[in-house]
Amino acid sequence: MWFKQMRLALVWVIIIFILCNMKPSELPSASYFFKGFDKVVHGSFFFVLTFLLSRGFYLQTKFPLLKLLPVTFATFICLFYGGLIELIQLKVFTYRSGEWADFIADAIGTFLGTIPFFIYKRIIDKPHEKIA
């Protein structure tokens, strides 16, 4: 049951890893849109990841602590993952550059990604109206 609830988040983690570590020549130029577009992309990646992790942790039943504190765990994991990607870009995939600005964009996306989860949680936890 745990994997079933987490599969979207796990797929998204892999997608983020692949896209963040591709050679720049294989990616479309971010400057085609506007300066700083790559920061919006980083923030968007982690916005979605935070929501998917929080949702998966909340819906799973195997680990009670994850269900109790889904946003806390999702936030820590996303911040760690964002930092890890920047370190990997700096040390392993040297054709990429690890940047503080990218990590900050990841963090902003992470914190903003908690908002839709709380809305989602409020909707699914709402008791169904009784039909009289």
pLDDT digits (tens, 9 = 90+) for 24-49: 766 665 556 777 788 999 999 999 99
Residues 73-115 have pLDDT tens digits of 999 999 999 999 999 988 888 777 888 999 999 999 999 999 9
Amino acid found at 28: P
pTM: 0.88
Residues 85/21, Cβ–Cβ less than 8 Å: yes
Nearest to 54 by CA among 126, 122, 113: 113
Q: What's the token pair of residue 31? A: 């400057």
Neighbouring C-alpha atoms within 13 Å toward the C-beta of 118: 7
What's residue 26's pLDDT? 64
How many helices and strands, by DSSP H and E, does the chain display?
5, 0
Find, among 21, 39, 25, the residue nearest to 94 by Cα: 21
Give the C-alpha separation, 47 to 9, whole Å: 12
State the residue for tokens 């989602």: 120
* DSSP single-letter state for residue 92: T
Task: Please enumerate in sequence order all residues whose Cβ is within 8 A of that of 43, keeping only pairs 6 or more positions apart, or say none.
Answer: 105, 106, 108, 109, 112
